[in-house]
Amino acid sequence: MLSGRVSRLKPSATLTITARAKELRSKGVDVIGFGAGEPDFDTPDFVKEACIKALRDGKTKYAPSAGIPELREAIAEKLLKENGVEYRPSEIVVSSGSKMILFLILTAILNEGEEVLIPSPYWVTYPEQVNVLGGVPVEVPLKEEEGFVLTADRIRDRITDRTKALILNSPNNPTGAVYPEEELRKIAEICVENGIFIISDECYEKMVYEGSFVSVASLSEEVKDITFTVNSFSKTFSMTGWRLGYVACPEKYAKVIASLNSQTVSNATTFAQYGALEALKNPEGEKFVRRMVSEFRKRRDKAFELLSSIPNVSVVKPEGAFYIFPNFSFYSKETGGDIRLAEILLEEGKVACVPGSAFGAEGYMRISYALSIDRVEEGINRIRTTLERLS
Ligand SMILES: Cc1ncc(COP(=O)(O)O)c(C=O)c1O
């Protein structure tokens, strides 16, 4: 008999659709994959070389559970230089991806029945992790008309005496929303007043096309004291398979998270950490990111232009990340829901998208534009044709 906790676990919708698309492709069908949650760029060579060198140098054994000291130091430097937040290396823990980091943070802070505020649409993993750990995910619904931006008012009426944490994700997956600094300030103030932890998932920080990115912990010392700043090498340096993410937070929490890490993964893969170190240290890293982001911007513009012109579809222009989240509810009502609509888009249009219901937003579709601009154009034209045929 399995535990009650895992019985609530839902399989990842993103992976399900990607698997079906792969199956069709293996049969020779030309499927356009809008499902991917990773950049289509290769990890830069200089990063790979640093990892290969580490392997050759014998960096093949266990490492400190919080991460190799050089990497924690480089992360602290990065946080100060790029985000304006001062952390000591002892306040940083590296683990196998930011997904694992989030799980460790939630394990460290959540008691049975405690609530975690999750702005919705949300990244699929947040409520699943909270559920598995015996917490209660509390959705904070966001509005398309407000650009899917979280406002202080929206969280105020969701707070109870069991509220333990708020998960922020700006730039956002799946909406691409970037929260303005003034709103973040108000939100953070409420969390400080009510003693609510902020878990700030900043893994898309570099992919910002409008406005500017603000790291929540940089707002004030009081905010920093209640914030877990989470980041990843996955998206910034196109290193999804390397499995490297980190958290920066007050040392008393970092110590617990490092202990949890030591009792679960032991340490993030030792030689991989040397690749990440090079990504942060080598000036080529910044150039790589700039090139990638400028490419994403062109695709975003194209995707927005094409989706906006489809009849009966509304779409918010994403300001960050590499997703766009059109409202297809006019069509999904006809098909009996967005899951069925995604199936039709895949089977008939040969386009793989992830249905909005996976992100708590029925009627929407997440389109990842992590593929060439020609494929973006072709894919959205296929969507248009399939939708037009439907109506
Ligand atoms: C919002 C968000 N956070 C975290 C992650 C996890 O990234 P990783 O575990 O590769 O660091 C993802 C990946 O898709 C994401 O979209």
| pLDDT of 370 over the 80 cut | yes
Q: Is 28 left (phi over 0), alpha (psi -120 to 50) or beta?
A: left
Lowest mean pLDDT among 4-18, 138-152, 303-317: 4-18
Q: With respect to CATH, is domain 4-30+286-390 assigned 3.90.1150.10?
A: yes
Please choose from 120, 203, 269 the residue to mutate so as to test ligand 1's pocket, defined by most ligand atoms within 8 A of CB: 203
Ligand 1: does its nearest atom lie under 6 Å from the Cβ of 229?
no
For the whole model, what pTM was predicted? 0.96
Confidence label for 78 from pLDDT (cuts 50, 70 and 90): very high
| pLDDT of 366 over the 80 cut | yes
Distance CA 202, CA 235 (A): 10
Fold match between 4-30+286-390 and 61-282? Answer: no
Average pLDDT, the chain: 96
CATH code of 61-282, in short, is: 3.40.640.10
Backbone dihedral angles phi then psi of residue 342, each to the nearest 5 degrees: -65, -35
Q: How far is CA 301 from CA 33, 97, 122, 381, in A?
A: 18, 30, 23, 15
Ligand 1: does its nearest atom lie under 6 Å from the Cβ of 12?
no
CA 301-312-339 angle, to 5 degrees, is 90
Q: Directed axis angle between helix 125-132 and helix 98-109, to 10°?
A: 40
Ligand 1 atom, smallest distance to 240 CA: 10
Cα 98 to ligand 1 centroid, rounded to whole Å: 6
The residue-averaged pLDDT of 80-100 equals: 98
307: tokens are 């989706």
Confidence label for 13 from pLDDT (cuts 50, 70 and 90): low
Ligand 1: does its nearest atom lie under 6 Å from the Cβ of 176?
no
| pLDDT of 391 over the 80 cut | no
Q: How far is CA 373 from CA 34, 299, 313, 368, in A?
A: 12, 5, 21, 12
| Domain residue spans of the chain | 4-30+286-390, 61-282
- Edge-first strand order for the sheet with 136-141 is 92-95, 245-248, 227-232, 197-201, 163-168, 115-120, 136-141
| pLDDT of 233 over the 80 cut | yes
Closest CA to 251 of 117, 365, 380, 88: 88
Whether the CB-CB separation of 315 and 363 falls below 8 Å is answered with no
The residue-averaged pLDDT of 129-147 equals: 97
Backbone dihedral angles phi then psi of residue 92, each to the nearest 5 degrees: -125, 135
296: tokens are 């994403």
Distance CA 201, CA 363 (A): 25
